[in-house]
Every structure is written in structure tokens, then in C-alpha cells.
């Protein structure tokens, strides 16, 4: 399948005269972290895995074009809408938020937060290429962008991040499936002040009682014991897979009541 060659980055329409993307046949299905497509960049075709973010972010517009234009990802906009509604219902001011955007990628969620009036946002991602792509595609969105492994914060990173006194955590399209592991989510969560806002999404199956993965267990237990006081959940179509079938996610917005303890990670 050959697709159009323009997309939008950071509210700007950008043309990619030599960017072509071909999806596998629709009757082939892959696990979410094994999906792939074929991309032509500068005259050369190459296979790219959808979870190979180094590749996706290194080509301007490729992430937006593939994940958002072609595979119809709706998650940053969906989280923004839900979060904005909950802030407004509770009378909280977006401008008072100090947000940590975990798994920030090239800044799409930061851009949505800025769009609702959040003025202080720090991005965190594990790969340098994501930081470079943010600087290229959405400069100025983040007050700071840290390339860190949240599972292994050294003392100086921990001190610096704690110093921001975050009262908001966002984490969109980044949990599970070989992306952000439970320890990284818990470490980021524990950097947020009690009462702070938590807005994230996960594959809906993680909320099924019979899903026994580490992530499912963690998310279910923080919701049940009110470590996270959930205000709103919404099930929706996150995107379609390369097999063109819908992938259902659940957006969750709530307030942190207490830290995630080590015992909850096992
Ligand atoms: C699908 S992208 C989502 C980017 C952005 N949140 C969005 O919605 O467009 C997932 C991001 O999570 C990042 N990531 C994966 N594992 C991570 C980890 N352990 N710590 C921080 N970021 C991680 C990846 O590098 C990638 O940028």
C-alpha cells in the first residue's frame, strides 16, 4: 500500500517528497511489539519495526505519518480531552501544573498539555533520538527533556527530578509491550506529589481480571487500593494495527494518593 506524502508536525504541515510507507498485507497479524512496515527514505526501502523508535524518530515526519495519519492513533488528543474535562470539573488550573511526561517521544503529548495551558512540562525518554526529534519537531514545548532510564535513576537525576516538585504525570502510548516497564512507571509515579494528577493510557486487556502480566497486576492493584484515586476511565480505539484491526486502549485520569510501594511490583 502506498500512501500520501505530507503530514503535520507541531501544527505545521510538512511535505515529505520521498517518504513512502507500505504496510504488510492485512491478513497478516503480529504481536503489538512485532509489527513492522516498509519505508522508503531517500530512495531506499527498508523494513522498520513500529517499536523501533530510534528509526521512527530519526526520519522527520515518519512517526506522525505512520502512527497518526495511517494507523489513526488518537491517544494524545484523547488523553488531552479527558484530562482537560477532569481538570475543569475539579476546578484545577492547568497553569498550576508541573508535569512530567514519561515516554515523551518527540513531544506530541507535551504539545497537547501546552495546548490546555500547562506551562511547565519536563519530558523524559530512554532514547537520545527522541530528545533530538523533540528539539527538531517541537522546540520549546518542554522546560527540560531528560534522557534517562527511569528504572535506574542515579542520585543526581533523582535529585534533579524530585526538585521539580511535579504534581502531574502523563504517560501515553508507552506502557507495556517492551516499552516502559512497571519499575519505570512506579519510579515516575513516586516523583509526583500526593494529590497530583495522573493521566495515562494502557491496552484495555491490562484491566481484565484474567490478565496476569506484571503490568496488569500493578495497574489493577493501584486502582483497587486507591494508591491511584481514579476519576475517569474511557475505553477507545487507540489506533489500528498493521492488520487494520482496531486496538482498544483505556485512558485513565486520577489523583495520586500515595507512593507505589516495592511490594506492589511483584
Ligand atoms: C509510542 S512512543 C510514545 C511517545 C509519545 N508519548 C506519544 O504519545 O506520541 C513510546 C516512547 O516510550 C519510550 N520508552 C520506552 N521505554 C522507556 C523507558 N524505560 N523509559 C522511558 N521511556 C521509554 C520510547 O523511547 C518512546 O519514545
Domains of the chain, CATH where assigned: 6-70 (no CATH), 75-265 (3.40.50.150)
Least Cα distance to 219 among 174, 255, 260 occurs for 260
Its pTM stands at 0.94
What pLDDT does residue 176 have? 80
Q: What b/e string do you get for 166-195 counting C-beta neighbours within 10 Å, with b at 16 or more?
A: bbbbbbbbbbbbebbbbbbbbbbbebbeee
Cα(7)–Cα(25) distance, rounded to whole angstroms?
A: 23
Shortest-distance atom of ligand 1 to CA 101: 6
Q: 104 C-alpha vs ligand 1 centroid, how far in Å?
A: 6
What is the CB < 6 Å shell around ligand 1? 53, 75-76, 103-105, 108-109, 124-127, 130, 149-150, 172-174, 179-180, 184
Q: 202 C-alpha vs ligand 1 centroid, how far in Å?
A: 13
Q: 33 C-alpha vs ligand 1 centroid, how far in Å?
A: 13
What pLDDT does residue 9 have? 59
Which of 9, 65, 83, 103 has most ligand 1 atoms within 8 Å of its beta carbon, as the pocket-test mutant? Answer: 103
What pLDDT does residue 34 have? 92
CB 178 within 8 A of CB 50: no
Cα(151)–Cα(161) distance, rounded to whole angstroms?
A: 14
What pLDDT does residue 209 have? 81
Shortest-distance atom of ligand 1 to CA 149: 20
| Local confidence pLDDT in tens for the 266 residues of the chain | 444 455 555 654 455 556 899 999 999 999 888 999 999 988 899 999 999 999 999 999 999 999 999 999 999 999 999 999 999 999 999 999 999 999 999 999 999 999 999 999 999 999 999 999 999 999 999 999 999 999 999 999 999 999 999 999 999 999 987 789 999 999 999 999 999 999 999 999 988 888 888 888 999 999 999 999 999 999 999 999 999 999 999 999 999 999 999 888 86
Q: 172 C-alpha vs ligand 1 centroid, how far in Å?
A: 8
Amino acid at each position: 500500500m502506498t500512501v500520501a506524502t505530507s503530514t503535520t508536525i507541531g501544527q505545521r504541515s510538512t511535505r515529505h517528497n520521498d517518504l513512502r510507507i507500505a504496510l504488510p498485507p492485512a491478513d497478516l497479524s503480529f504481536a503489538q511489539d512485532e509489527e513492522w512496515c516498509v519505508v522508503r527514505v531517500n530512495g531506499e526501502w527498508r523494513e522498520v519495526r513500529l517499536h523501533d523508535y530510534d528509526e521512527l524518530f530519526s526520519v522527520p515526519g515518519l512517526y506522525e505519518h505512520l502512527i497518526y495519519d495511517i494507523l489513526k492513533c488518537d491517544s494524545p488528543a484523547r488523553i488531552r480531552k479527558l484530562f482537560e474535562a477532569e481538570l475543569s470539573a475539579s476546578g484545577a488550573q492547568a497553569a498550576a501544573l508541573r508535569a512530567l511526561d514519561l515516554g515523551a517521544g518527540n513531544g506530541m503529548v507535551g504539545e497537547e498539555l501546552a495546548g490546555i495551558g500547562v506551562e511547565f512540562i519536563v519530558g523524559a525518554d530512554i532514547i537520545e533520538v527522541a530528545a533530538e526529534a523533540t528539539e527538531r519537531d517541537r522546540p520549546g514545548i518542554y522546560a527540560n527533556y531528560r534522557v534517562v532510564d527511569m528504572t535506574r535513576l542515579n542520585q543526581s537525576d533523582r535529585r534533579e527530578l524530585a526538585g521539580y516538585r511535579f504534581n502531574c504525570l502523563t504517560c501515553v502510548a508507552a506502557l507495556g509491550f517492551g516499552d516502559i516497564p512497571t519499575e519505570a512507571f512506579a519510579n515516575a509515579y513516586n516523583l509526583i506529589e500526593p494529590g497530583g494528577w495522573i493521566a495515562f493510557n494502557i491496552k484495555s486487556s491490562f484491566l481484565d481480571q484474567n490478565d496476569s502480566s506484571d503490568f496488569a497486576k500493578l495497574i489493577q492493584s493501584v486502582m483497587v487500593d486507591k494508591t491511584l484515586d481514579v476519576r475517569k476511565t474511557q475505553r477507545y480505539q487507540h489506533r489500528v494495527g498493521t492488520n487494520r484491526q482496531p486496538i482498544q486502549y483505556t485512558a485513565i485520569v486520577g489523583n495520586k494518593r500515595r507512593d507505589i510501594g516495592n511490594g506492589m511490583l511483584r
